[in-house]
Structure 1
C-alpha cells in the first residue's frame, strides 16, 4: 500500500506533516469525524455518514468550505483509495475541524482530512468466539445537545478503550450521567431478551451510529418480518445481567456478538440469526 492522505482536497503522502500546532481539533477537541467502510470501490451507507457529518457541522456552527458536499467528498475518498492502492476493503477516517487559532479567534472555513487503511476481508464475518467486554466505571457521558456527535472530544471513550486493553477485553461499555448504558468505546449497544431487541435512545447520550440507524430504519421491516421486535429503550447495568443476548454495532464491523459482559454470559442464537438476516441485506459487494 502507498500511504497518502487528502487535506482540503489536496493529496499528500501520509508521512508528511499536514496539521499546525494551532489546529483547534488538537487544542480543544473542536472537530468531528466519520469512519467509513469502502468495499471494491463502493462506500457503504454514504448517505448516512454524510448526513450525520453535515448535521453535526451545522450544530457546531461550522463555516462550510467551498466544494464541500457529498459528491465531492465521495469522489475524493475513492481517489484516495485508488491512489493508496488500498483495495478491496478499506477503512476511511474523514476528520473535519474548525481550523486553526485560539478559542476567541475569528472562524474561517472548516478544514478536513481524509485518511485510509486496508481492512481484512474477514472483518465483516460472524465472530464465532464472541466478544468479552465490561463496563468502564470511571466516566459518565453527559446527555446534552452534543452527546450524539461523533466528536474529536474523545477522552472518555479513549480511556474506556485503554482500560479494555489493560484488562485484555475486546471493548468496554460507557455509562451516561444517570448511570445507564450509553454505548461502547467504538460501537452502539443492542440488548436481546427473547425476541425483543432494544438499544438506548439518543436521549441516553449515545453516538448516533450509522449501523444503529441502519438497523432501526432500513432493516426494521426485515427484522420484524423474521419474528423480532425492535425498539429504543433505556438500559441499566441490571438489564444487562438479565439479558439473553448482547451485541455491538458499528459501520466497520457490522454486528458483533458479545459472549460475556462482566460476570454475565450470553448465548449467540438470536444474534447469529439477526446477523444472518442483516448480512443478506448488507453483504459487502
Structure 2
C-alpha cells in the first residue's frame, strides 16, 4: 500500500501525472526513516530537517504538516505491513504539477511508501573514490532533493568495479560523503567528518554519532575538510545513514582498516535509538 496525500491506495493504482515536477525537474525532497517496533526512529530530527528543506526550496508547508500528522501518515502505511519487522519508509514531497522551471504553485503533494529492510551490515566492505563528476560544495547539496543523479552514477560505478560503495568528492576534490550516507574517518583518537560546508547531506545519524563522540572522553571530533589522502592514512573508516546506522569500511584500495571503534559506536547508537 501507498499513502498518497493521506489516502491509502494499492501500488497498482498509483497514477503519477506526466507533469509531475519531481519527475520532470527533480523538484522535490524526501526523508527515508527506519521503523522499528512500530516506531519511527529519530522522527523528530527527520521532521525538522524536512521542514527546513521545504522552506529552503520555497515550498508552501501545509498547516496540517505537524510532527504528529506526518508520523501518523507514515504509521498508516506501516500498519499494512507484517508486524515485528524492521521497515524503511520514504516520505516524498514535491510541488504540485504545473509550469516549466517556474512552477505555477508552491503547494505540495506527498507520497509515502514502505519496504522491509533486507540490508545487513557487511563484515567486509570495500570503497573507492568516484571522480567522474563532483558534488558542488553549496548549501543546496546538504538537502535531500529528489535529484540524486550523482549518487546513481557513483553507485553504477561501484557495481561495475565490484565495490560496495564510492566516496563523492566536491569541486575542490575534498571528501564529501558516500553514495548513501555520511563518512567518518578515525586516526588515533581523532574522529573527522566532512563539514556541511563541504556539501554533505545533513544526516540524522551523522548528527547522533557526533553527539555520542562529543560526550566521549577518549575521542576528539573534528568537522572539517578531508583530503582523499587522509583516508589512506586512517585507522578506521565508517559510513552512516538512517537505515544501517553504521557500516564499517574494511578496505580502501590496498589499505585494510580495523572496525573496533565503529562497532562500539554502533552499539551506542542502538541504545539511543531504542530510548529516544
Which moved further from structure 2: 35-44 or 96-105? 96-105
Q: Distance in 1 between matches of 2:274 and 2:69?
A: 26
Over 3 Å counting, the alpha-carbon distance change for 1:284 and 1:26 in structure 2 is farther
1:66: Cα distance to partner? 4.4
Match of 2:18 in 1: 21
Preserved CA contact (<8 Å) 2:182 2:201: yes
Structure 1 unpaired stretches of 5+? none
Answering whether residue 197 of structure 2 is matched by residue 197 of structure 1, we say: no
Structure 1 residues 96-134: Cα deviation after superposition (integer angstroms, max 9, x where no partner): 1112122234214111110000124x74xx64x231111
Superposed, which structure 2 residues align to 1:94-133 within 5 Å?
94-101=91-98, 102-120=100-118, 123=120, 127=122, 129-133=123-127
Preserved CA contact (<8 Å) 1:135 1:262: no
1:228: Cα distance to partner? 1.5
Preserved CA contact (<8 Å) 2:175 2:227: yes
Preserved CA contact (<8 Å) 2:58 2:106: no
1:39 to 27, 36, 40: 36
Over 3 Å counting, the alpha-carbon distance change for 1:272 and 1:83 in structure 2 is closer
Q: Distance in 2 between matches of 1:279 and 1:66?
A: 34
1:220: Cα distance to partner? 3.7
1:230: Cα distance to partner? 1.7
Structure 2 unpaired stretches of 5+? none
Preserved CA contact (<8 Å) 1:257 1:271: yes
Match of 1:10 in 2: 7
1:24: Cα distance to partner? 0.6
Structure 1 residues 177-228: Cα deviation after superposition (integer angstroms, max 9, x where no partner): 10011001101000000111110000000011110011223x2444x23x12
Answering whether residue 133 of structure 2 is matched by residue 139 of structure 1, we say: yes
The number of residues matched between the two structures is 275
Preserved CA contact (<8 Å) 2:213 2:219: no
Q: Distance in 2 between matches of 1:276 and 1:83?
A: 30
Over 3 Å counting, the alpha-carbon distance change for 1:21 and 1:138 in structure 2 is same
Moved over 4 A (4+): none
Q: Helix, strand or coil for the counterpart of 1:63?
A: coil
- Give the TM-score taking structure 1 as reference length: 0.91
Answering whether residue 152 of structure 2 is matched by residue 158 of structure 1, we say: yes
Match of 2:179 in 1: 185
Answering whether residue 275 of structure 2 is matched by residue 277 of structure 1, we say: no
- Give the TM-score taking structure 2 as reference length: 0.94
Over 3 Å counting, the alpha-carbon distance change for 1:105 and 1:192 in structure 2 is closer
- RMSD (Å) for aligned C-alpha atoms: 1.8
